[in-house]
Amino acid sequence: MNTILVPDDAWVLAQRPARNAVSADRPYAFLIEPEGAPGGGVVDVATVFLTNRECPYRCLMCDLWKNTLQTSVAPGEIPGQIRWALTRLPSARHLKLYNSGNFFDAKAIPPEDHAEIARLATPFERVIIECHPRLIGARTWAFRDRLAGDLEVAMGLETVHLDVLARLNKRMTLDDFAIAAHSLNTERVATRAFILVRPPFLSEIEALLWAKRSLDFAFRAGVGCCSLIPTRTGNGAMEELERLGHFAPPSLETLESALEYGLSLRAGRVFLDLWDIDHVSPDATNRVERIARLARMNLEQRIM
Tell me, what CATH number does 79's domain have?
Answer: 3.20.20.70
> For residue 4, is it within any domain?
no
> For residue 2, is it within any domain?
no
If one counts every other C-beta atom within 10 angstroms of the C-beta of residue 186, the result is 9
Owning domain of residue 243: 9-300
User: What distance in Å separates the CA atoms of residue 266 and residue 36, rounded to the nearest whole number?
Assistant: 14
> For residue 1, is it within any domain?
no
> For residue 127, is it within any domain?
yes
Of 239, 222, 298, whose CA–CA distance to 263 is shortest?
A: 298
Task: Flag whether the pTM goes above 0.85.
Answer: yes
- Answer whether 210's CB lies under 8 Å from 201's CB: no
User: What distance in Å separates the CA atoms of residue 204 and residue 94, rounded to the nearest whole number?
Assistant: 35
What pLDDT tens digit does each residue of the chain (304 aa) get?
344 567 899 999 999 999 999 999 999 999 999 999 999 999 999 999 999 999 999 999 999 999 999 999 999 999 999 999 999 999 999 999 999 999 999 999 999 999 999 999 999 999 999 999 999 999 999 999 999 999 999 999 999 999 999 999 999 999 999 999 999 999 999 999 999 999 999 999 999 999 999 999 999 999 999 999 999 999 999 999 999 999 999 999 999 999 999 999 999 999 999 998 988 999 999 999 999 999 999 999 999 9
Task: Indicate the number of domains in the chain.
Answer: 1
Contacts of 18-21 with CB under 8 Å at 24 or more apart are 19/65, 19/66, 19/67, 19/68, 20/66, 20/67
DSSP H or E segment with residue 94: strand 94-98
> For residue 286, is it within any domain?
yes
> For residue 183, is it within any domain?
yes
> For residue 174, is it within any domain?
yes
> For residue 140, is it within any domain?
yes
Of 84, 227, 107, 104, whose CA–CA distance to 156 is shortest?
A: 227
Of 228, 138, 147, whose CA–CA distance to 184 is shortest?
A: 138
Residue 248's φ and ψ, nearest 5 degrees, are -150, 145
